[in-house]
């Protein structure tokens, strides 16, 4: 972001409104300059007066403080004169505090603490722009808006100085509503831009993680397939007229080929969801019968050899109008996850009527859900498993929501395992 974004309103106010009457200011005392604020716009040239007014404004806030800091050094100077503590005190008494500050590799611990403030009244966001870390010879502007009624704009003289009074050149203070609104608009624009940038950065991070996971997932099944092909080719090269392939070798190739196919299918599903080409073929069926089919298929897999039981608490027929294939996919994913994270014990599945919905539960006695991943459990690429892309639950959530239902998860109260649940509208 260019420095002109921060200075444009400052120079408009300075050259159009303030400069014509600036020649008379030298005749007035510092106290007179501050006292003359009721007339509209005031230029303050004494750094000590600027500091006193700055502190007083922050302490007087009753509803909202908007503060744009031009540099990380500015934050350190604010801390020395008590501004940071005043902001925290304001937040404690219910004032909404929003601070915009440039990013810098060397973030002070106090600023870091404000970034992770848990009170909810202090929000700190960063601005990504090169001018924030350039040399101190460039002019920079600090903007403070109090209760959306009065503002203070401070121009820095030398950002390398350690004290507030040595760093500032002059300030403009005003209670003029129209100009205050201009600064509010500027601040909110930068605030929104910063939020969008943070979202983009988070998405970019997830994409990078997904590429790493997908690359690993693709390489894992490909390696044994290639290894088996090399083994078979070696048999031919030794002059054998035929190369025999055992049942185990064939199963290994088939198993890893299926794994590749599932990964490709998941990636295509995500692409369909995000391109709004996701469609449903609804039909009437008994959800209990569908669950029974899923469990039968899972038990029939050769990989199902763990010391655990799958218990299905079947009840009365519960009919829904849904895409049978998609619901099969969701139930398979939830039960499959339960099995993956449960070495031994029980996976319990049941469906029951809850008001006008059918609620399906998959409860396991495994390791439970990591608290770190719980808030983003159903988001794209969310996984802490060494195997899996983190797409299954994301796709399941989209499928259930497309049917007008909801899906959620929680760790069990007894500390053993987790329960995944989803609802679908009951067909009466």
Domain stops at, among 122, 154, 175: 175
User: pLDDT tens track of the chain, all 428 residues?
Assistant: 444 444 444 444 444 334 444 433 433 444 554 444 445 688 999 999 999 999 999 999 999 999 998 888 888 888 899 998 898 889 888 999 998 887 654 555 556 565 555 556 788 887 765 444 444 344 478 999 999 999 999 999 888 898 999 999 999 999 888 888 889 998 988 888 888 877 777 777 767 766 666 666 667 777 777 777 777 767 666 655 555 667 777 777 777 777 777 777 777 787 777 777 788 999 999 999 999 999 988 887 645 556 788 999 988 999 999 999 999 999 999 999 999 888 888 999 999 999 999 999 999 999 899 888 888 888 876 665 555 566 889 999 999 999 999 999 999 998 889 999 999 999 87
Tell whether 182 is covered by a domain.
no
In a domain, residue 198? The reply is no
Q: Clarify whether residues 237 and 93 are in a common domain.
A: no
Name the domain boundary from 238, 256, 274. 274
Radius of gyration of the chain (CA): 32
Specify if 74 maps to a domain.
yes
* 42 inside domain: yes
Side-chain half-sphere exposure of 419, counting CA atoms within 13 A: 15
What are the tokens at 182? 């201009």
Does residue 258 share a domain with residue 127?
A: no
Same domain for 103 and 221: no
The answer on 75 and 9 residing in a single domain is: yes
Residue 178's Cβ-side half-sphere holds a number of Cα atoms within 13 Å equal to 5
**CATH code of residue 400:** 3.30.565.10
User: Do 26 and 105 reside in the same domain of the chain?
Assistant: yes
Do residue 371 and residue 405 come from a single domain? yes
CATH of the domain at 12: 3.30.870.10
Q: How many domains is the chain built from?
A: 3
Same domain, 125 and 233: no
Domain co-membership, 378 together with 410 = yes
Note down the domain range covering 74: 4-175
On whether both 404 and 291 belong to a single domain, the answer is yes
| Residue 218 resides in a domain | yes
Q: Residue 247: which CATH number?
A: 1.10.287.130
Residue 373 is assigned to a structural domain of this protein: yes
């Amino acid at each position: 972001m260019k420095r002109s974004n921060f200075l444009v309103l400052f120079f408009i106010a300075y050259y159009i409104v303030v400069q014509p009457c600036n020649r008379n200011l030298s005749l007035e005392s510092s106290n007179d300059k501050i006292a003359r604020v009721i007339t509209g716009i005031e230029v303050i040239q004494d750094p000590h007066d600027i500091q006193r007014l700055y502190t007083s404004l922050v302490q007087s806030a009753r509803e909202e403080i908007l503060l744009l800091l031009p540099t990380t050094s500015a934050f350190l100077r604010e801390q020395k004169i008590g501004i940071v503590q005043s902001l925290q005190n304001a937040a404690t008494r219910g004032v909404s505090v929003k601070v915009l500050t440039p990013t810098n590799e060397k973030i002070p611990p106090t600023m870091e603490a404000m970034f992770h403030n848990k009170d909810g009244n202090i929000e700190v966001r960063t601005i990504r722009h090169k001018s924030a870390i350039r040399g101190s010879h460039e002019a920079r502007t600090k903007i403070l808006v109090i209760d959306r009624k009065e503002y203070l704009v401070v121009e820095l003289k030398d950002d390398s100085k350690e004290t507030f009074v040595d760093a500032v050149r002059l300030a403009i203070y005003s209670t003029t509503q129209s100009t205050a609104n201009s600064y509010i608009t500027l601040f909110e624009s930068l605030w929104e831009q910063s939020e969008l940038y943070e979202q983009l950065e988070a998405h970019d991070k997830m994409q990078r993680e997904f590429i790493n996971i997908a690359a690993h997932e693709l390489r894992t099944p490909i390696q044994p397939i290639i290894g088996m092909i090399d083994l078979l080719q070696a048999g031919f090269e030794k002059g054998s007229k035929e190369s025999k392939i055992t049942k185990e070798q064939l199963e290994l190739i088939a198993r890893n080929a299926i794994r590749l196919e599932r990964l490709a299918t998941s990636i295509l599903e995500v692409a369909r969801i995000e391109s709004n080409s996701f469609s449903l073929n609804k039909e009437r069926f008994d959800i209990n019968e569908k669950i029974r089919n899923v469990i039968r298929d899972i038990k029939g897999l050769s990989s199902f050899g763990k010391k655990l039981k799958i218990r299905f608490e079947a009840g009365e027929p519960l009919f829904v109008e849904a895409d049978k294939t998609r619901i099969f996919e969701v139930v398979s994913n939830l039960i499959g996850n339960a099995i993956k994270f449960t070495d031994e014990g029980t996976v319990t599945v049941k469906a029951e009527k809850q008001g006008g919905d059918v609620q399906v539960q998959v409860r396991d006695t495994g390791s439970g859900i990591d608290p770190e991943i719980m808030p983003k459990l159903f988001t794209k690429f969310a996984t802490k498993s060494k195997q899996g892309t983190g797409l299954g639950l994301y796709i399941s959530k989209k499928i259930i929501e497309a049917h007008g239902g909801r899906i959620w998860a929680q760790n069990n109260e007894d500390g053993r395992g987790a329960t995944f649940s989803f609802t679908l509208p009951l067909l009466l």
